[in-house]
């Protein structure tokens, strides 16, 4: 039996794009089609007393998933793969089975059980339910180690995190000076959920489009300079999302501008540089702004 | 009878938005929720214009576009790509498929990145349908 089409089921925390990339050896066999599925479980948008159905939460979750999937799909499309996507609200196991049937996939890839033992006792295991109800083989993907793959040459494939500040600009200039040792750079901007101008899908897409256009211009600038660059937009907590991006891009290190000392006192400034240095498993290159 | 515009997008809100713009522009919208459904409708109804998303279930806009631009009977139908996927990626993916042995395809008549203002979409539709 050939694996031509796989269903990649993700909640974005325990199963990221780097996991999918590790399965791309299947292309040598027959794999040519990946279908992404994100299930927004009902309890996240369910009716709550005095609130009703949280439509705006659903829109935000959908758009956040959509932004990640577009980013992943762009990489796969450029490799000549076919890509599909489902972002649905419902019960996890039911939606996985439904998508697998609709798409006639040959393999389902998902992360280990999210439910605790106690929860499984009364509501059952999602994985067991999927295996029992579906005829499709299931791969429960696990990372061998918590840390990401760290390259021998940290400057080979850096991830540049930018927030368009003066310090970020200096990081870009610094990056350019490393041209001879860099093979490729992934350029990331993290928009915080607070930055999303509206709760409508169009408003969120507009925020993404604006960030993406700026990133495209920056990547063009780097490419003109002779550095291969790829843009990515993430939404969420800055430190966590930069770390996630570095894992997904299989980066060798993170480069970021660090704000001026005066600004370090600002709430966000200190926490991002410090947070990255302390929490991320990747080497971090922090570029301070010019003195004066 | 007014000219027909096929809208292929998996998001019902986007289909509704596009259909409204098409109607307001004086044309008749037809809808499909994925590439596979879109291709069936193209062959059956032969629309005068296709507004096509890229990332969809069943069959992507990249493959449907390729079908439209390599089938002699459909090649003349203009296509507006309307997607969150960047134009650069779309062109690179078509190039990759050509390198893998598929026929080369021309660039789409227009490529718009989502979201798009209704006036801009209406203008592009009218430009292509006269």
Task: Note the pLDDT tens digit of each residue in B40-59.
Answer: 999 999 999 999 999 999 99
| Single pTM value for the model | 0.87
Of the three residues A140, A175, A197, the one that is the final residue of a domain is: A140
Average pLDDT of A122-143? 83
Do A10 and A129 sit in the same domain of this protein? yes
CATH code of residue A186: 3.40.50.620
Digit-coded pLDDT (tens) for B95-113: 999 998 889 999 999 999 9
* Number of structural domains chain B divides into: 1
Do A275 and A182 sit in the same domain of this protein? yes
Average pLDDT of A95-100? 96
Answer whether B96 touches A (CB < 8 Å): yes
pLDDT, averaged across chain A: 86
- How many beta-carbon contacts under 8 Å exist across A and B? 70
| Whole-number pLDDT of residue A66 | 96
Query: Which chain A residue lies closest to B83 (C-alpha atoms)?
Result: A70
Do A116 and A77 sit in the same domain of this protein? yes
Which of A66, A85, A202 lies closest to B57 in CB terms?
Answer: A85
Of the three residues A84, A112, A140, the one that is the final residue of a domain is: A140
Range of the domain at B123: 4-129
CATH code of residue B91: 3.40.50.2300
Do A64 and A117 sit in the same domain of this protein? yes
| Whole-number pLDDT of residue B64 | 97
Query: Which chain A residue lies closest to B112 (C-alpha atoms)?
Result: A209
Do A182 and A103 sit in the same domain of this protein? no
Range of the domain at A99: 5-140
Answer whether B97 touches A (CB < 8 Å): yes
Digit-coded pLDDT (tens) for B56-94: 999 999 999 999 999 999 999 999 999 999 999 999 999
Q: Is the pLDDT of residue A257 over 80?
A: yes
Distance CA A178, CA B81 (A): 38
Q: In which residue are the tokens 């992507």 written?
A: B60
The answer to whether residue A148 is domain-embedded is no
Of the three residues A108, A140, A172, the one that is the final residue of a domain is: A140
Interface of A with B (CB under 8 A): 35, 66-67, 69-70, 73-74, 77-80, 82-86, 102-103, 201-202, 205-206, 208-209, 212, 216
Question: Hey, are the CB atoms on A77 and B85 less than 8 Å from each other?
Answer: yes
* Number of structural domains chain A divides into: 2
Digit-coded pLDDT (tens) for B4-48: 999 999 999 999 999 999 999 999 999 999 999 999 999 999 999
The answer to whether residue A19 is domain-embedded is yes
């Amino acid at each position: 039996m050939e694996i031509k089409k796989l269903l990649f089921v993700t909640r974005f925390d325990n199963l990221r794009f780097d996991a999918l990339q590790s399965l791309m050896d299947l292309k040598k066999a027959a794999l040519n089609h990946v279908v992404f599925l994100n299930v927004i479980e009902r309890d996240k948008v369910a009716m709550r007393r005095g609130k009703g159905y949280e439509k705006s939460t659903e829109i935000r979750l959908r758009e956040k998933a959509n932004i990640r999937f577009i980013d992943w799909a762009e990489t796969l499309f450029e490799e000549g793969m076919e890509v599909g996507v489902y972002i649905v609200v419902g019960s996890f196991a039911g939606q996985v089975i439904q998508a697998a049937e609709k798409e006639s996939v040959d393999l389902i890839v998902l992360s280990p059980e999210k439910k605790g033992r106690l929860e499984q006792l009364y509501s059952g295991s999602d994985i067991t339910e999927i295996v029992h109800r579906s005829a499709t083989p299931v791969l429960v993907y696990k990372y061998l180690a918590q840390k990401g793959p760290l390259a021998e040459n940290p400057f080979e494939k850096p991830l540049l995190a930018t927030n368009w500040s003066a310090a970020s600009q200096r990081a870009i200039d610094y990056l350019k000076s490393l041209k001879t040792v860099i093979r490729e750079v992934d350029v990331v901007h993290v928009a915080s959920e607070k930055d999303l101008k509206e709760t409508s899908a169009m408003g969120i897409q507009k925020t993404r489009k604006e960030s993406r256009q700026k990133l495209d211009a920056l990547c063009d600038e780097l490419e003109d300079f002779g550095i291969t660059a790829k843009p990515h937009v993430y939404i969420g907590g800055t430190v966590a999302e930069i770390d996630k991006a570095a894992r997904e891009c299989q980066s060798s290190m993170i480069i970021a501008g660090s704000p001026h000392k005066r600004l370090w006192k600002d709430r966000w400034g200190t926490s991002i540089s410090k947070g990255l240095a302390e929490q991320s498993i990747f080497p971090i290159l922090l570029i301070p702004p010019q003195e004066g | 009878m007014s000219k027909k515009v096929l809208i292929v997008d998996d998001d019902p809100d986007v289909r509704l938005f596009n259909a409204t713009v098409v109607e307001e522009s004086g044309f008749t919208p037809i809808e499909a929720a994925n590439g596979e459904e879109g291709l069936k409708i193209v062959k059956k109804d032969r629309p005068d214009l296709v507004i096509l998303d890229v990332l969809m279930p069943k069959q992507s806009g990249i493959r449907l576009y390729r079908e439209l631009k390599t089938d002699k009977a459909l090649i003349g139908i203009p296509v507006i790509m309307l997607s969150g996927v960047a134009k650069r990626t779309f062109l690179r993916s078509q190039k990759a498929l050509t390198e893998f042995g598929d026929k080369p395809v021309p660039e789409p008549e227009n490529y718009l990145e989502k979201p798009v203002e209704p006036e801009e979409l209406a203008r592009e539709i009218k430009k292509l349908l006269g």
